[in-house]
Chains A and B, each alone.
Chain A
Amino acid sequence: MGIDQVVAAVVAVVGVPLVLLGYIIVGEQVIERLPESVQGWIRPYFWALPAVGFATIFMVYPLLRTVVISFRNSADTDWIGLANYKYFFTFPDTLTSLRNSLLWLVFYTFFAVFLGLVIAILLDRVRYESLAKIAIFLPVPISAVAASIIWKFMFDYQPPGTPQTGTLNALIGLIGRDPVAWLVNSTTNNAALIFVGIWTAVGFCMVIISASLKAISSEVLEAARIDGANEFEIVRLVVTPLLWPTITVVGTTMLINALKTFDIVYVMTNGAYDTDVIATQMFSQLQHAHYGRAAAVGVVLFVAIVPLLIVNIRRFQQQEEQR
């Protein structure tokens, strides 16, 4: 990390906005001299070009190229049909990663949204709501890397009979249970990792659900109370249905997060002891320069996300109609 990098960073921070400013001013000067009919045609593309160009180079083209690579060998010299996919769907290690990603998909999504909803509803009923929200939201700005180290200590394991340094094992020691090697034991490790994921995500779900909760008119709730509904019925029959659109939005985000999960698994176990997920599996293929196989894993991940992508576009189109 030399001085030249500092200089480069300063140049970029000052230079990029200046270059874009110049691009706009000079470009507009040129466009304004063009015939009226050409102006209207060329100007929007001129303005959209930098953004669309970046998106094309770094997302659209790579996406298509990855699909192509997934049908080719590692050296990218020959077509090998579905061999990379066949590998993914038959090799035990990759199948484990597929199973684990399904576990993440179901449990991470469900509990992050469910706990977010429950906590939002509970906090709505107490005076210290904003303070409690800070506590629940605290893990959100923390990086997954730091969160992983935080939880490595929570799950820390020492042999039975020695003082436990991990908070969790110390707690179960209080009720006379033997310590558990949470991250090594294959019956607990995936649950442990998924829990860390949930821990980092609940704050996000809670904040968004809570914002919609505040928008529900108190008259509706009052009416339900007058009709004799108890608090549980109100939550189940009135509040939850009213929050449903928000819950689906948050749920889609969580589903996508679950499929893309990488950091927590990479830092906490690096995929060892059968904790691999699709994204870590892909990364290790990439590191071994098995580009074809890595691309195939990427395509599988993408195909899994396509339905959610369509849902997002549909929702966007509905919002556009209301504008």
Chain B
Amino acid sequence: MSVEQVTTRRESAVAGSVSALNNLGYRLQRLPLHLVIIIFCAIWIVPTIGMIINSFRSVGDMGASGWWTTLFPPHGFTFASYNQVLTLEGVTPSILSSVLITIPSTVIQLTIATMGAYAFAWMKFPGKDLFFIVIVGLMVVPIQMTLIPVLQFFQLIHLNGTIMAVWLAHSGYGLPFEVFLLRNYLGGLPREIFESAEVDGAGHAVRFLRIAVPMTIPAIASLTIFVFLGVWNDLLVALTYLGTSTARPFTVVISQLVTSLGGGWQFLTAAAVLQMALPLAVFIFLQRYFVRGITSGSVKG
């Protein structure tokens, strides 16, 4: 897009009269732009669509021809893969397990984080800055650095292989980021509200529960979605602390099936579709909160 073209467009918008020829030229010049965008969009969307289509084909079809052949009759759509996956040993329990891991993990860490964030936002104490710098640092510490001692800790207190272990681990790992984000949000609330409540004799419990928490709901909502999907999609934490336990979640079971099935893994497309159905639904219906949750951490800090 050249300068002339831009000016032409601007002027035409003002004058409202541009020759059809000029307009055509402008459109032609922008054709490569549209083409590049369409190619990018295709690369980012076609693989997912291809796999979803494949999940509705028989394993035999999947191994014999590409998903695109189904776009033309005979389609041969079937739920066979879904039936096969759901009746496979351990799959249905693991979906329930994912739910039972994700919801408590999210609730535990967010309640603890909100309370901690309030202390960092509205209280003064010696060592506060240092504590908080440690929290900022912990946000980027790879959880790999903690796996062995935490695993040994769970073995020691006989929690290894239970969903409680994963709740606690997820909560510990998620806290630094959540405290950081909520403290910034809480700290941005108007000081006058808290001061006038204090003058009226409201203690910290009242100020926290009646003022801070209700006013932080938008941030907590975005964070909830973010944390929820993070735990739902997690592999490493559950793999380490649940491994072969009957309480292992869906992601772990899928990853183990991929390895153990070797050649016959095709019907796992159905498992992948089931696993990503929830994140995609959340993304589609709560898009605004989801994107806000993802961007708030890194843009503003």
Contacts and interface: CB of A to CB of B under 8 A. Distances in A.
A110 B241 CA distance: 33
A43 B63 CA distance: 65
A135 B45 contact: yes
B103 A9 contact: yes
B115 A47 contact: yes
Counting chain B CB atoms within 10 Å of each CB, the highest count among A44, A45, A134, A228 belongs to A44
A113 interface: no
Given A144-B233, A312-B140, A267 B258 contact: yes
B86 interface: no
Contact of B149 (A41, A65, A148, A204): A65
B80 interface: no
Given A48-B131, A54-B172, A141-B280, A1 B149 contact: no
A20 B111 contact: yes
Nearest to B42: A135
Nearest to A136: B44
Contacts of A139: 44, 48
B142 A305 contact: yes
Given A6-B100, A12-B167, A55-B172, A286 B3 contact: no
A203 interface: yes
Contacts of A282: 144, 147
A60 B115 CA distance: 20
B84 to A, nearest CB: 15
Contacts of A144: 233, 235
Interface residues of A, number: 116
Q: Which 5 A-B pairs have the closest CB atoms?
A: A58-B172, A51-B116, A143-B233, A47-B119, A44-B125
15 contacts: A8-B100, A12-B104, A16-B112, A58-B146, A58-B175, A125-B33, A145-B255, A150-B48, A163-B65, A163-B66, A204-B294, A208-B299, A250-B298, A256-B142, A262-B144
Interface of B: 1-3, 6-7, 33-34, 36-37, 40-41, 43-48, 50-51, 54, 62-68, 93-94, 96-97, 99-100, 103-104, 107-108, 111-113, 115-120, 123-125, 128, 131, 133-151, 153, 163-164, 167-169, 171-173, 175-176, 179, 187, 203-205, 208-209, 229, 232-233, 235-236, 239-240, 246-247, 251, 254-255, 258-259, 265, 268-269, 271-273, 275-276, 279-280, 282-283, 287, 290-291, 294-295, 298-299, 301
Interface of A: 1, 5-6, 8-9, 12-13, 16-17, 20-21, 24-25, 28, 32, 41, 43-45, 47-48, 50-52, 54-55, 57-63, 65-66, 69, 115, 119, 122-123, 125-126, 132, 134-146, 148-154, 163-167, 170, 199, 202-204, 207-208, 211-212, 225, 228-231, 246, 249-250, 253, 256, 259-260, 262-263, 266-267, 270, 279, 282-283, 286, 291, 294-295, 297-299, 301-302, 305, 308-309, 312-313, 315-317, 319, 323
